[in-house]
């Protein structure tokens, strides 16, 4: 079957779409309203998360150049590698999908598309993960301009507040994450190794329903647990070891994360004191997540508790970040919204945040817990019922 026949087959278009055609139509209408307000006639969207939010387009092949031409009015056009065409038809409701062949110049393919659609000078989402500077330079050269107009800030605000369908997906992802965390904790025994824990975590989350995660889970033990973002590495667990565990479940590319700490035996007094502080900080942060509060308020509440306990140097990070659509290399939306000092964006109902309250004795241990929460009309709804206290086994 050729491209045209496949595209026009009613049994194929949208057959793999994660959400309804109406959900995407609403997002596209809001995006075009925001685009008109920005003063631009068109936007070239390059980030896989934004393309997915607008169209449902998802694939493991997003490493190949793709672009969505969003005009201020009228239908959109998706440009993808030829191999990706058939999946793009199945995952979206788009009627205009253009391809380029392996060996073609992606910059040339994009500029040709712009000229064919009568778009002289669009804004471009330059912050996309997979738009390297060399390609940016080539696009600008072919358009005959010194630099491209950055439209990266036009659409992210629309993704900050999640629809009912998006929140349902995140709740499902949270169930998968909790199943994985329960299995991981149970697998933490003397003599087991980090790989066995990771296998238990991934297996349980996947059996519960999780799809591919945008970042691998974090499993580290002993002194390795005191190094940020370590993954499993075959280390065998011994009596007295700390074990740091964190993962995100995934449903329709929407993620919810969860983090817990295990100690094999009795933890040192200092580690327990740090854990108690982290839990107080987590509670303080969640208590400040409510409509009308600034995104700085939860961080500042947690920071006050951490500073008062003398653990300032053990923290050194933001208290949270937005959650939603994620493609590797990150499971969060921290690039569009953070809970941190100086972020004055007001919290709104429907926003979703991951709140990892972690304290580290670097090179020795990490302790803490996290929750993914949905902002309600009155506060924050944590999506896990798993106890947060340090688990001794």
Give me the helix-helix angle, 106-116 and 133-143, nearest 10°. 40
Regions in the chain scoring below 70 on pLDDT? 1
Please answer whether residues 348 and 161 qualify as being in contact, where contact means their C-beta atoms are separated by less than 8 angstroms: yes
What pLDDT was estimated at residue 2? 86
pLDDT at 359: 98
Give this prediction's pTM. Answer: 0.96
Closest C-alpha to 365, from 212, 160, 222, 157: 222
40 Cβ partners below 8 Å, 6+ apart?
72, 122, 123, 149, 151, 154
CB–CB of 24/54 below 8 Å?
yes
pLDDT on residue 249:
98
How far is it, in rounded angstroms, from Cα 131 to Cα 110?
12
Beta carbons within 10 angstroms of residue 203's beta carbon: 15
Alpha carbons 366 and 355: distance in angstroms, whole number: 15
Q: What is the pLDDT of residue 393?
A: 87
- Would you call 296 helix, strand, or coil by DSSP? helix
CA distances from 123 to 38, 133, 149, 283, 388 (A): 10, 16, 5, 42, 45
Pairing label, strands 320-322, 338-339 = antiparallel
- Burial of 64 from C-beta contacts in 10 A (0-12 / 13-18 / 19+): middle
Does residue 329 have a cis bond before it (omega within 30 degrees)? yes
pLDDT tens digits, 328-361:
999 999 999 999 999 999 999 999 999 999 999 9
Q: Which residues contact 225 (CB under 8 A, 6 or more apart)?
A: 241, 242, 243, 244, 365, 366
- Strand-pairing partners, residue 79, are 67, 98
**Cα 234 from Cα 219, distance rounded (Å):** 10
Question: What pLDDT shows up at residue 382?
Answer: 98
Stated length of the chain: 393
What pLDDT does residue 1 have? 67
Cβ 97 vs Cβ 85: under 8 Å: yes
Is 180:151 a contact under the CB 8 Å cutoff?
A: no
**Encoded tokens for 63:** 């490493």
Q: How confident is the model over 156-165, as pLDDT tens digits?
A: 999 999 999 9
Q: What is the pLDDT at residue 6?
A: 93
Q: What is the pLDDT of residue 25?
A: 97
Buried b (16+ CB within 10 A) or exposed e, 26-53: ebbeebbebbeeeebbbbbbbbbbbbbb
Report percent pLDDT > 70 for the chain: 100
Q: How far apart are CA 36 and CA 277, in angstroms?
A: 48
Could you tell me where the DSSP H helices lie in 8-84?
21-38, 48-55
Q: Can you tell me the distance from the alpha carbon of 347 to that of 8, in angstroms, rounded to the nearest whole number?
A: 43
């Amino acid at each position: 079957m050729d491209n045209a026949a496949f595209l026009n087959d009613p049994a194929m278009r949208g057959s793999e779409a994660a959400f309804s055609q109406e959900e995407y139509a609403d997002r596209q209408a809001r995006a075009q309203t925001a685009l008109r307000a920005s003063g631009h006639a068109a936007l070239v969207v390059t980030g896989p998360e934004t393309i997915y939010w607008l169209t449902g387009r998802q694939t493991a092949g997003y490493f190949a150049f793709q672009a969505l031409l969003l005009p201020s009015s009228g239908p959109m056009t998706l440009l993808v590698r030829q191999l990706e065409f058939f999946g793009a038809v199945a995952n979206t409701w788009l009627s205009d999908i253009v391809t380029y062949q392996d060996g073609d110049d992606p910059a040339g393919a994009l500029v040709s598309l712009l000229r064919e659609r009568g778009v002289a000078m669009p804004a471009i989402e330059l912050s996309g993960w997979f738009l390297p500077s060399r390609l940016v330079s080539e696009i600008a050269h072919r358009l005959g301009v010194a630099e491209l107009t950055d439209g990266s800030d036009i659409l992210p605000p629309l993704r900050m507040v999640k629809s009912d369908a998006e929140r349902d997906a995140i709740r499902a992802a949270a169930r998968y994450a909790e199943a994985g965390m329960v299995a991981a904790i149970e697998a933490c025994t003397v003599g087991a190794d980090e790989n066995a824990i990771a296998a238990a975590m991934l297996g349980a989350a996947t059996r519960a329903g999780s799809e591919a995660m945008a970042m691998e889970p974090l499993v580290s033990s002993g002194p390795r647990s005191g190094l940020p973002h370590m993954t499993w590495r075959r280390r065998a667990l011994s009596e007295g070891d700390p074990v740091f565990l964190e993962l995100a479940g995934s449903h329709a590319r929407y993620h919810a994360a969860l983090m817990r700490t295990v100690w094999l035996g009795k933890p040192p007094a200092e580690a327990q004191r740090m854990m108690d502080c982290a839990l107080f900080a987590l509670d303080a942060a969640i208590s400040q997540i409510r409509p009308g509060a600034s995104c700085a308020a939860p961080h500042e509440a947690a920071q006050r508790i951490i500073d008062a306990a003398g653990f300032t140097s053990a923290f050194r990070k933001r208290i949270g970040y937005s959650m939603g659509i994620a493609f590797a290399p990150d499971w969060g939306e921290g690039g569009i919204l953070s809970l941190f000092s100086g972020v004055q964006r007001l919290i709104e109902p429907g926003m979703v945040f991951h709140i990892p309250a972690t304290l580290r004795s670097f090179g020795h241990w990490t302790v803490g817990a996290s929750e993914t929460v949905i902002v309600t009309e009155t506060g924050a709804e944590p999506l896990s019922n798993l106890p947060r206290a340090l688990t001794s086994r």
